[in-house]
Each structure stands twice: as C-alpha cells, then as structure tokens.
Amino acid sequence: MTSSQPLEGGDLNAKTPSGFAEILSHRLQNLRQQIRHDPLRNPVRELAHELSRHLQANDISLSSFHALIDFLDKEAFARRADHINHYVKTSDNEENSPIKSVVETLSAELTNIDDFRQFWQARRETIIFTGHPTFILSQQARKRLAEAATERAVPSQGAGMPDSPLTLDHEHSQAEESLRHASEALFTLNREILNLAKSRFPGEWLSVKPEPLGLGTWVGYDMDGRTDIGWASVIRHRLEEKRNRLRLYIERLGAVENDVAPIKAELEKALNAVEQHYLAFSKDLKTPEDLAHASNLLTTDQHNITSLKTIINQLMVAAGDAKGATAVEIAAIVAEMRIFGLGMGDIHFRLNAAQIRNSARGILGLSRDADLFGRSALEDISTHIENAKPLHVNFGSLAIEQSSSARLFIAMAQILKHIDADSSRRLLIAECENAVT
C-alpha cells in the first residue's frame, strides 16, 4: 500500500454504490488537502493507485467496481439533464413563451421602423455545431438526455458507451438533426419578430428582414487530419442538406392557408432533382463513367435550382396579399430562406495551415526547405495575389487535383455554381500563425 492512508469504511464490497462513491469522495478531498504541503502531488492518480492496490488484494471486487461505474454514470447523466433543464427555460404556455418575451424586451426601445430593422437584421451570432465531444454520447443517449431535461425527469440509466462504429455519414446526419431543431427555434424567433413588427408598424412591417442568428457546422467538411473526407463526400453532404432543406420549405408551405401552390410545386420539382443528384454522388465515382454521369446529371438538370431569390420575391408578393397570421407565416418562411438558402446551415470548411503552405510552395516554386516565414515570401505571395486570374474549374478538376487545399476551393466553387449560390461558406485555417498562410 502507498504511504498515504488507505480507504476507510469497513467492507467496501458490502457498501451500496452510493456509499462506495461517498467514501471515495471523502478520500479524494483528503488527498487534495495534502497538496498544501506537497504541491507536486496528484490526488486523482494517488486515489487510482490506492484503488488498484485494493483490487489487487481482493479488498474490492470487480462487481463492486461495475456497480460504482453504473451509479456514477447515471448520477452524471442526471445532473447533466438537470443542468440543461435549468439552462434552457421552457414554457408550456404559448402566450407567455420565453422567445416572445425576449423579443418584446429587446424591442422595447426600438420605437421606429428604421431602428427595428437595424437591430433585428444584424446577425449577432452564428452557432456552429461540431462533432467533438458530442459523439461521446450515443444517438439514443442524446435523445434520452433531451427527454429527461424537457420532462424534468430523472433518467432511468446513464449515458452508456458511444455508438460503434461511428462513421462520417452518421456524424453528419446527427449534425443535420441538431441543425433542424435549432432551425425550428430560429423560425419561431423570426415569427415573433415579424408578429411584433406587424403590430407596431402595420404599413411597413414587410420591409423587416430578420436575421438575428445564423447556424452552421463543420461536421462533414473538416478536412484537417481527416482521411475519410474526400471531395465527393463534401459534395454529397451538401446535396443531402439541400434535399432536407427543400423538404422543410415544402412542409412549411404546405401548412400555409394561401395560394402558394405554384411555388410549392416548383420546389417539389427541385426536390425530385436533388434526390437524384444525391444518389449519383453517393456512388464510388472512381470510374470516369460514374463521375461523368453524376456531374452531368447535376450540371444540366433543368429542374436544379441554385438560388431562392426568385422564389423569395414571389413569396413576398404572396405575403403582401395575405391577411393576419398567414402573412406572418409566409414572411417567416422568407426569412428562413434568406438565412439558410439551400442548406441546413453555413458550411464551415476546415484546413490545417500546413496544407495551405504545401500548396503555396507549388505556386511560388519553392522547395520544401525554403523559408515561408520571411519578408521575401510575403512579397512573393502578395505579387501572385495581385496578378491572380480566375480559373474555370469543373468536377473533372476535382478528380485530378492532388492538393487537398486546392480541392477544397474547387469544391467550394462547384457548390456555388451547381448546388447553393446563396448561403455562406466559411473557412477556418487551424494553426495559422503566418501572414503568408
């Protein structure tokens, strides 16, 4: 046994899991107090060492450990559910919804239409959904956590283990599900903003274009250190998002009690088209025939839409002709279209600075040993930027390009041209500490 005092409490195997946890908690507190006399001590490591010695001496059984782990798992899960319940305040009374109250409070001093527009049309934040440590919880565990938090219930079991195997497509589909829920909340927020605008400024409210928040994700687009994200998966993921966003618009328009049937029919044709595009880009695409089929299908389809600007204009006319809540509902759909375009959120591409530098060396004609941190390299790259000329690229360019960073930019161009020209694409360069990068 170590020189520190052993665990106390009698027969540990006879203890309940909560009693065992209480003994360990007291012991850890004692070990932490001893840091005052020896700052280099590690209380957690010492406790772990003591437990291993007790286990080795058969003072504690494996079944007691299993019971303890299950107990702690459930306790931590219950605390997390309780935290979420207090963090996200909800109300069953729609008239007193927190969102409505927040909109009214923030708009209290916005007494004219110009101030109202300026405040609510300025995007305050963009919420980015990432993949780590989200997927420590399985999909089912996340659902149970949400249910326990919203129902104010104590979970019947803990978090358990993560999903296995955890694939990129699974990660992306779960990010989309999160974006869908957040999108519903943002739709409600925009509707409350427009409701208030209509009541305060009845003749001018349709000029309000609310965009208080944005949503985005880099799940499926993070190419920093990922070998399972190729250019085809990037295109496929955006097509999947386009398909799901179109389904949502069609669902919303289907609930509108107004003559928006022609607009809905146009979106349904676009949805049928993108479903075929998604299936084509879900293939391996390693053969020239499959690549040509997928790219031609996407780039020549007469029902493929890449922008919602015309549809937005048509819906604004419909909103102006509609009455009461229907007008607000149509305007809220328009606000959603302005924010999201043809995706579930902004794309956040992610590269490493080393990937950018490797491409830059080829452009500058520099060897791998050349210094990219000097003044000369910065002047060279500035000259190249000034003299840069547009290049025409296509899906064949993606297939033959070897540089990961160049492939990413070509993929961006293809998304803009053939999938979604309206919503934002952002690029994060990790470990970027050089002006040349």
**How confident is the model at residue 314, as a pLDDT?**
96
**How confident is the model at residue 23, as a pLDDT?**
92
Which of 118-127, 223-232, 253-262 has the weakest average pLDDT? 223-232
Q: Which is nearest to 121 in space by CA: 255, 212, 23?
A: 212
Q: Give the C-alpha separation, 163 to 68, whole Å.
A: 22
The model's confidence at residue 282, banded by pLDDT at 50, 70 and 90, is very high
**How confident is the model at residue 366, as a pLDDT?**
67
Q: Which is nearest to 191 in space by CA: 400, 334, 317?
A: 334
Checking if the pLDDT of 409 tops 80, the result is yes
**How confident is the model at residue 222, as a pLDDT?**
83
126-130, 171-175, 270-274, range with greatest mean pLDDT? 270-274
3-class secondary structure per residue, the chain: CCCCCCCCCCCHHHCCHHHHHHHHHHHHHHHHHHHHCCCCCCHHHHHHHHHHHHHHCCCCCHHHHHHHHHHHHHHHHHHHHHHHHHHCCCCCCHHHCHHHHHHHHHCCCCCCHHHHHHHHCCCCEEEEECCCCHHHCCHHHHHHHHHHHHCCCCCCCCCCCCCCCCCHHHHHHHHHHHHHHHHHHHHHHHHHHHHHHHHHCCCCHHHCCCCCEEEEECCCCECCCCCCCCHHHHHHHHHHHHHHHHHHHHHHHHCCCCCCHHHHHHHHHHHHHHHHHHHHHCCCCCCHHHHHHHHHHHHHCCCCCCCCHHHHHHHHHHHHHCCHHHHHHHHHHHHHHHHHCCCCCEEEEEEEHHHHHHHHHHHHCCCCCCCCCCHHHHHHHHHHHHCCCCCCCCHHHHHHCCCHHHHHHHHHHHHHHHCCCCCCEEEEEECCCCCCC
Q: Give me the mean pLDDT over the 271-297 stretch.
A: 93
**How confident is the model at residue 2, as a pLDDT?**
42
Q: How far is CA 301 from the centre of its chain?
A: 30
Q: Residue 213 has which token pair?
A: 């928040």
Q: Which long-range contacts (CB under 8 A, 24 or more apart) does 397-404 make?
A: 398/231, 398/232, 399/231, 399/285, 399/291, 401/231, 403/355, 403/358, 403/359, 403/362, 404/223, 404/351, 404/355
Query: Percent of the chain at pLDDT above 70?
Result: 94
**How confident is the model at residue 4, as a pLDDT?**
42
Q: Give me the mean pLDDT over the 262-288 stretch.
A: 94
Q: Give the C-alpha separation, 24 to 13, whole Å.
A: 13
Instruction: Give me the amino acid identity at 425.
Output: R
Instruction: Give me the amino acid identity at 74.
Output: K
Q: Which residue has the higher pLDDT, 160 or 202?
A: 202
The model's confidence at residue 94, banded by pLDDT at 50, 70 and 90, is low
The model's confidence at residue 200, banded by pLDDT at 50, 70 and 90, is very high
**How confident is the model at residue 31, as a pLDDT?**
93
Instruction: Give me the amino acid identity at 16.
Output: T
Checking if the pLDDT of 363 tops 90, the result is no
Q: Residue 281 has which token pair?
A: 């880009």
Checking if the pLDDT of 92 tops 70, the result is no
Checking if the pLDDT of 93 tops 70, the result is no
Q: Give me the mean pLDDT over the 374-398 stretch.
A: 86
**How confident is the model at residue 352, as a pLDDT?**
86
The residue behind tokens 């204009």 is 313
304 contacts 418 by C-beta, under 8 angstroms: yes
Q: Which residue has the higher pLDDT, 114 or 426?
A: 114
Query: Percent of the chain at pLDDT above 90?
Result: 57
**How confident is the model at residue 1, as a pLDDT?**
38
403 contacts 359 by C-beta, under 8 angstroms: yes
Q: Give me the mean pLDDT over the 292-313 stretch.
A: 95
The 10s digit of each residue's pLDDT in 317-354 is 999 999 889 999 999 999 999 999 999 999 998 888 88
The 10s digit of each residue's pLDDT in 10-62 is 788 888 999 999 999 999 999 999 999 999 999 999 999 999 998 888 888 99
**How confident is the model at residue 215, as a pLDDT?**
95
- Helix 168-200 and helix 113-120: axis angle, to 10°? 170
275 contacts 246 by C-beta, under 8 angstroms: no
Cα dist from 284 to 232, 237, 396, whole Å = 8, 14, 15
Mean pLDDT, rounded, of the chain:
88
Checking if the pLDDT of 80 tops 80, the result is yes
Phi, psi torsion values for 71, nearest 5 degrees: -65, -45
Q: Prior bond to 133 cis, omega within 30?
A: yes
The 10s digit of each residue's pLDDT in 202-243 is 999 999 999 999 999 989 888 776 777 788 899 999 999 999
